[in-house]
Structure 1
Amino acid sequence: MAKENTKDQILKRIARIEGQLRGVQKLIKENADCEKIAQQMSAARKALEKSNHLMLACMIEEQLLEQSPELKLQTDDIKSLLSKYL
C-alpha cells in the first residue's frame, strides 16, 4: 500500500461498514421495517463502494509512481477525480 494514511483511511471505513452491517443484522433480528433495513443496507453498500474507490486510487497511484516518481501531482488529480465522479 502506497501510504500509511491511505491504509488508515481504508481500515477506518471498513470498521464503520462492519458496524453498519451489525446494525442491519440487529434490525433483521428485531423484525424491523423492511424499508429501514433496506436504507441501512444501502448506506453500507455505498460506504463499501467508497472504500473500493479509495483502494482503486491507491492502486493507480502505486502503478504510476513505479513508472515515474515525478507523477505525484498527477496521481493527486486522479484520486480527486475518482472520488468526485465514482
Structure 2
Amino acid sequence: MIEEDNQKKIINRLRRTEGQLRGVQKMIDDQKECIDIITQLSAVRSSIDRTMGIIVAENLQNCLENPSNNVDEQSKKLQEAIQMIIKK
C-alpha cells in the first residue's frame, strides 16, 4: 500500500511523464529529428524507472516496518520486492 503523500508524488510524476509522451507524439507528427525523439523517449523511460523505484522502495520499507507474523509470508513479500528491483 502506498502512503498518501507518496501517492500524490507518484501521480504527479506520472502526469509529467504522460505530458512527455504527448510531446513525443507531437514530435513524431511534426517529423522531428530521430535523435531528438529518442532523447525524449529516454527521458520518459527514466521517469518511469524512477517512479517504479519509488513504489518498490516504499513496498520494501513497508515490509520491513510492518512485518507479517507469518515468517514464510514475510519472506515471500521481501523476495518479491527484491525481484522487482532485480528485474528493473
Deviates more, 1:1-10 or 1:51-60: 1-10
Query: Retained in 1: the 8 A contact 2:2–2:55?
Result: no
1:32 match: secondary structure: coil
CA distance in 1, matches of 2:2, 2:21: 28
Displacement of 1:62 in angstroms is: 1.6
Match of 2:19 in 1: 19
Structure 1 moving runs of 4+ over 2 Å? none
- 1:1-86 aligned within 5 A: 1-67=1-67
Task: Let me know the Cα RMSD of the aligned residues.
Answer: 1.9
Contact persistence 1:28–1:37 (CA under 8 A)? yes
Alpha-carbon distance in 1 for matches of 2:45, 2:2: 25
User: Which structure 1 residue ranges, 5 or more long, are not aligned?
Assistant: 69-81
Equivalent-residue separation in structure 1 for 2:25 and 2:67 (angstroms): 45
**Number of residues paired by the alignment?**
70
Give the Cα–Cα distance (whole angstroms) in 2 for the partners of residues 13 and 2 of structure 1: 14
Letter in 2 for 1:27: M
Mark the runs of 5 or more structure 2 residues left unpaired by the alignment: 69-84
TM-score, normalization by structure 1: 0.74
Match in the other structure for 1:75: none
